[in-house]
Amino acid sequence: MTSRDSFLLMWGMEAATTKRVLAAVPEKNNGWKPDPKSRSAIELTAFVAGHAFVLATILETCEFKPGPMTPPTSMKEAAGMFDAMLPRVEKALKSVDEKSWDTKIAKLFDPKGAVMQEAPLGGMAWFTLFDLIHHRGQLSTYLRPMGGKVPSIYGPSADDPGK
């Protein structure tokens, strides 16, 4: 199995898990945050959901430059952003050949336009997936304090016995 094949498999599993976590974020208290330095629940939900757009853009253009974004007005809207991008991500993943996956250089820019990260396209895709998983984990810690239930992520939770 190639790195690209492994990524396709992992992306499918992690996207499904991300959908469960996004769906579990309660609409109430969307301004809640565990600390003044933390993102609010709606900000973090939108950030997690935005990773699908970032991945699709990187796969299509070999770069991502952050720009202004209209923030979602609800948790449901934020989760919908992720769902809406999944077909685009899948199409982009399937259109990348092995040689490009391993050799084409992708760049991630910071908000000021400087290169923040540079790696082969496949490496940048894995980086984006790992960043999604990291921030999804942060979001999962918001759920119970907000009055929600933690879904099964990598196994049962106290709220969800899993499949």
User: What is the tens place of the pLDDT at every residue in 113-145?
Assistant: 999 999 999 999 999 999 999 999 999 999 999
The answer to the question of residue 92 being in a domain is: yes
What's the CATH code of the domain at 83? Answer: 1.20.120.450
On the question of pLDDT at 163 being above 70, the answer is: no
Q: Which has more pLDDT, 161 or 162?
A: 161
The answer to the question of residue 39 being in a domain is: yes
The answer to the question of residue 106 being in a domain is: yes
pLDDT band of 34, cuts 50, 70, 90: very high
The answer to the question of residue 61 being in a domain is: yes
pTM for this model (two decimals): 0.94
On the question of pLDDT at 15 being above 80, the answer is: yes
Residue 66: closest CA among 77, 44, 42, 50: 50
The answer to the question of residue 73 being in a domain is: yes
The answer to the question of residue 160 being in a domain is: no
For the chain, the average pLDDT equals 94
On the question of pLDDT at 70 being above 90, the answer is: no
**How many folded domains does the chain comprise?**
1
Range of the structural domain that residue 62 is part of: 3-143
The answer to the question of residue 86 being in a domain is: yes
On the question of pLDDT at 67 being above 90, the answer is: no
The answer to the question of residue 151 being in a domain is: no
